[in-house]
Amino acid sequence: MFHRDKKLKVYCNPCWWGDSWDGTEYGMNYDPSRSFFEQMKELQSKSPYMALECTYTTNINTPYTNYTAWQKNSYLTYFGDYVENSLYSTILAHIRDCMDCYHIDESELCYGSIGGHKLYNCHFTIDCGDCHDVHFSRNCYDCSNCFGCVNLRNKNYCIWNKQHTKEDYKEKVAQINMASWQTVELTLKEFQEFSFQFPRRFYMGDSRNKKVSGEYVYQSKNAHDVYIGVGVEDSRFVQFLTLPKTKDAYDYTGWGNNSEKLYECCVVGEGASNCRFCSECFSNARNLEYCIYAANSSKDSFGCINLKKKQYCILNKQYSKQEYETLKFKIIGDMDKNPYIDEKGKVYKYGEYFPLILSPFGYNETIAQEYFPTTETEATKKRT
């Protein structure tokens, strides 16, 4: 996932997850005369990154995926867990035999669906849930055998929102040659024009939510400003939490899976607990601050990058518990007295997330470009 012009050391996934190294080989002594983030930048250039981010040991016959775990026989899937026999799809959880889908979970045999929950044999649906055999439809729930429908609830055998008998429905649908891509394109255009006649309803989630705000929220309580979240509790400003549960989180992006007490973290999950200002830390990561890719039960560490199965580390160097606590306390004080200041003059003291110098990606290489697209010229002007 790293461009060849990046000045980073990159390992193939079998090597990164192997037991021949743990990250302490690249340990550095803390230098109080330099800002802490500058020293992390130096560590970043030394320690090896994984070529594709995934929990490699859980994937089977799935070599070309990114941000994935527990996948089998899948290809070019992104940000997905518990996925089987699926292709070209992103933001996934517990799906199988799906293709060209975006943000679906607990679904099977779907094609071209967006925002789906508990779907079976559904094609070209948008924001539908608990449906089977529904095609070219939007915002339909608890429906089956529907074609070209919008905003329906608990309906069967409908075409363009009109009720039919079971026999009449099957006869009419059988006359549509869905094996022809030309027919599919024409039907998509017809469906788009038809759906514009109806008000757009934003989907909030399911009846099991209690005191929830946001969109695409399921089985959650006391959770606000949640955007794509399952099993979220006592949290706010969180998104892309595709696996339950997440508890006591704030300013947190991806991915949940029995994680708790997370603050200003990105892609930290799968048993993670009590982590702050961390990125890409998972597999039972605990009590971490300012760590990047600290995995496989790494815990009680500060300012580490690409660390595995270690405890009481600072800048990837191992310490005793007492040494670790003493040095960590000193560094936090130094971060306030000698903060990192970027080229725009922004000050990064303790309590701020990582500065941009620690991002291994350009803006246009990230998902930010999809949500807030900008040209190179516009980006250059903003930077200056």
The residue extents of the domains of the chain are 128-202
pLDDT given at position 11? 96
Res 202: pLDDT: 63
Cα gap 348→210, rounded to integer Å: 37
Q: First-to-last CA distance in the chain?
A: 28
pLDDT at 383: 57
Predicted confidence at residue 348, as pLDDT, reads 97
Contact 378, 363 (CB under 8 A): no
Say what the pLDDT of residue 33 is: 95
- Give the 3-state secondary structure of residue 64: coil
- Name the strand (E) or helix (H) holding 185: helix 181-195
For position 295, what pLDDT does the model report?
87
Token representation of residue 345: 């003059």
Amino acid identity of 46? K
Q: Which residues of the chain have pLDDT under 70?
A: 201-204, 382-384
In this prediction, residue 110 carries a pLDDT of: 98
- Closest by Cα among 252, 264, 329, 317 to 40: 317
CA distances (Å), 57 to each of 18, 133, 216, 259, in order?
A: 10, 35, 30, 20
Residue 19, token pair as written in the block: 């037991």
Cα–Cα dist 184/181, whole Å: 5
Q: For residue range 236-281, what is the model confidence (pLDDT) as tens digits?
A: 999 999 999 999 999 999 989 999 999 999 999 999 999 999 999 9
pLDDT for the residue 346:
94
What is the tens place of the pLDDT at every residue in 98-108? 999 999 999 99
Q: By C-alpha distance, which of 307, 308, 270, 292 is closest to 70?
A: 270
Question: Nearest Cα to 284, choosing from 300, 303, 302, 304?
Answer: 300
CB 278 within 8 A of CB 292: yes
Two structure tokens written together for 315:
């800048």
CA atoms within 13 A on the CB side of 230: 16
